[in-house]
Amino acid sequence: MSGSGGTLRQAAQEGRIVTITCRGCGHGASFLASDIAAFADPDRPIEAVRFRCRECEGQAFDVATAVFDRDRKPDIIVWRPTRLR
């Protein structure tokens, strides 16, 4: 299953990433669910966690979660050939 739903505790146990996008200005941020659970009530639904946008002070967000795959190599790694000098 993808998308949102469930409690923060469940998401943290599944090692999910929570991505929130501000409806006011489109500013987005991603967090580990376990990090959010450290300062919010873990038994609340993820959608019920209150955020405040750094950019516009908005408090309406779209929330999505994704499974964080520890085995997948990050896309940002660039393999560079080495040359003998």
Alpha-carbon distance 22 to 63, whole Å?
9
27 is a contact residue toward Zn ion (CB under 5 A): yes
The smaller minimum CB distance to Zn ion, of residues 5 and 52, is found at 52
* 3-class SS of residue 11: helix
67 is a contact residue toward Zn ion (CB under 5 A): no
Beta carbon of residue 24, minimum distance to Zn ion (angstroms, whole number):
4
Helix (H) or strand (E) holding 67: strand 61-67
- Which spans of this chain sit near Zn ion (rule: CB under 5 A)? 22, 24-25, 27, 53, 55-56, 58
